[in-house]
Amino acid sequence: MRIGVVSDTHGQVAFTRQAIGMLESCEVEQVIHCGDIGSVEIVKQFAPWPTHFVFGNVDDNREELRQAMADGRHVCHERRGELELEGRRIAFLHGDDTRLLGDLVTSGLYDLVCHGHTHVAQHVMYGSTHVLNPGALYRAAFHSLALLELPELEVTLVKL
């Protein structure tokens, strides 16, 4: 199963469309968005897939975003989400709550913890836990996203 992971779209539709094109060409089955969505228009861009969203620190229009997610086939996980896919436990959040991020990473409960917020793409291991920041689609040295192969937990950072 191939999953796309994105973060920090900040309402930037043009940059998000670039990412959508890449996700389509890579034939992902689902998407995880790690917050700082920014606008209802961004939610609509993810119509091709079931998308799991969490809110970031700039998502002040949460009621509108929740409604857009409900109108699509998306899931709003509020500030923190959890999934079990292909036998792998995945947690995701925006990452502005560094204490919560640290607690999830060190808990030993997850195979993968995804987050955004820093606008810097990174994939590191903490013990047996993969920690993934797909980077940002706005205000970054370069725009990026991540592809995740399950159940292998193979991560590829993709520069756009």
Please state the rounded mean pLDDT for residues 82-109.
98
Please state the rounded mean pLDDT for residues 131-145.
96
Select the CATH number that applies to the domain covering 8-159 from these four: 3.40.720.10, 1.50.10.10, 3.40.50.720, 3.60.21.10.
Answer: 3.60.21.10
The enclosing H or E element of 65 equals helix 62-71
Domain ranges of the chain: 8-159
pLDDT of residue 125: 97
The residues near 66 (Cβ < 8 Å, ≥ 6 apart) are 76
C-beta of residue 86 within 8 angstroms of C-beta of residue 1? yes
Task: Say how far residue 75 (Cα) sits from the centre of its chain.
Answer: 12
Q: Quickly state the pLDDT bin for 98 (edges 50, 70, 90).
A: very high
State the Cα–Cα distance between residues 13 and 17, nearest whole angstrom: 6
- Tokens 């191939």 correspond to 2
pLDDT of residue 73: 85
Q: What is the pLDDT of residues 111-125, one digit of tens each?
A: 999 999 999 999 999
CB burial readout 134-145, b (16+ within 10 A) else e = bbbbbebeebbb
Please state the rounded mean pLDDT for residues 78-84.
98
Residue 139, both tokens = 């205000």
The predicted model scores a pTM of 0.97
CB burial readout 90-104, b (16+ within 10 A) else e = bbbbbbbbeebbeeb
Q: What is the pLDDT of residues 39-76, one digit of tens each?
A: 999 999 999 999 999 999 999 999 999 999 999 989 99
The enclosing H or E element of 4 equals strand 2-6
